[in-house]
Amino acid sequence: PGIYVCAKCGHELFSSRAKYEHSSPWPAFTETVREDSVAKRKERPGALKVSCGKCGNGLGHEFLNDGPKRGQSRF
């Protein structure tokens, strides 16, 4: 339980309250702690490249409409 932070700068990214089980081997979250927690840029249809909103450290992707509920994204 708690807040997941950027490994490079300590910026708050995700809350354990937004974490859920997914078939991928990586932790999955439905939302960020704050709007400025991450920066996003379109990488391909249905996926955005995600980086730390403070230092730019690469964090993976946001997969649109792939969350646990209809219309939710998965980080």
DSSP state of 2: -
Q: Measured on CA atoms in the order 27, 33, 38, 42, is the torsion positive or negative?
A: positive
Q: What is the domain range of residue 46?
A: 3-63
pLDDT, position 24? 86
> Count of domains in the chain?
1
In a domain, 32, yes or no: yes
State the residue for tokens 């249809």: 45
Query: In tens digits, what is the pLDDT along the chain, a chain of 75 residues?
Result: 899 999 999 999 999 999 999 998 989 999 999 999 999 999 999 999 999 999 999 999 999 999 999 999 999
Selection from 20, 43, 39 nearest residue 30 by Cα: 20
In a domain, 48, yes or no: yes
Selection from 48, 56, 54 nearest residue 74 by Cα: 48
Instruction: Give this prediction's pTM.
Output: 0.88
pLDDT, position 37? 97
Task: Report the CATH number that the domain containing residue 39 is assigned in CATH.
Answer: 2.170.150.20
